[in-house]
Structure formats: structure tokens, C-alpha cells
Amino acid sequence: MLDVPAVGEDELSARGDGESSATVRERVVAARDRQLARQGKPNARLTPDEIDRHCLPDCTGAALLKQSMRQLGLSARGYHRILKLARTIADLAGVADGVPLSAAHIAEAVHYRRGLAH
């Protein structure tokens, strides 16, 4: 869940240059296919051992996650949820399997997590 501010009338009537729904759908389907091929299930269903295997952050990402845990007072469950979400963000971006999660993936996942807290 995200808190999304209201869009003004001018913005609604202006034609955006964002991705089409079909393009986004293709990216989502590819990400889900990548997850199923890698681990036989979606990232949301990963166990803690599977998270350790498939959702490893790089050094910078690990440091950011550690800092976020301290600042946000995250539980082990929150820690794992951020890693699973970061893996999904990386999958949507087309990051190859075996490539560690970057600080950017972790930061985006933490941002979504923080949005739920407010």
C-alpha cells in the first residue's frame, strides 16, 4: 500500500509519456516468470532460508539495510519482507539471477515500507 496524493485536473488532462499498460504487463509477466524459473514460486512465498539464497544484497545494500533496521526498529519479519520486495524490484528491472541486490533496490523497498508506517 502506498499513500498517493490527489492528481490535479491539469495533470489528468495532460497526456503523459509513461509506459503503456501493455509494456508494464510484459515486464511484470517476465519478472514473475524469472521468479518461477529461479525458485519455483513467487518471491512473496520465499522461506527465510530461500531469502538467504536468492535475496542477497551487495555490500552497500547490506549496509543500508542494517542502518534501516536500526532506524526503523525492524523485526526479523520486516527485514525479510524488505529483502523479498527488493528482489521483486530487481526482477522487474531485469537484473540477472545471481546478481546481488543493489542499494537502490534496498532503498526503494525501504521507502515502500516506510510509507506503510506513516
Q: Specify if 93 maps to a domain.
A: yes
Q: Specify if 35 maps to a domain.
A: no
Q: Specify if 79 maps to a domain.
A: yes
For the entire predicted model, the pTM comes to 0.83
Q: Specify if 11 maps to a domain.
A: no
Q: How confident is the model at residue 103 (pLDDT cuts 50, 70, 90)?
A: very high
Which domain range does residue 52 map to? 43-118
- Check residue 115 and give its pLDDT: 61
DSSP 21-74: HHHHHHHHHHHHHHHHHHHSS-GGG--HHHHHHH--B-HHHHHHHHHHHHHHT-
Asked if residue 89 lies in contact with residue 102, where contact means CB atoms within 8 angstroms, the answer is no
Residue type, 40: G
Q: Specify if 66 maps to a domain.
A: yes
Number of domains in the chain: 1
Overall residue count recorded for the chain in this entry: 118
Secondary structure class of 104 (helix, strand, coil): helix
pLDDT higher at 102 or 7? 102
Q: Rounded mean pLDDT of the chain?
A: 90
Q: Specify if 15 maps to a domain.
A: no
Average pLDDT over residues 63-79: 93
Whether pLDDT at 117 is above 60: no
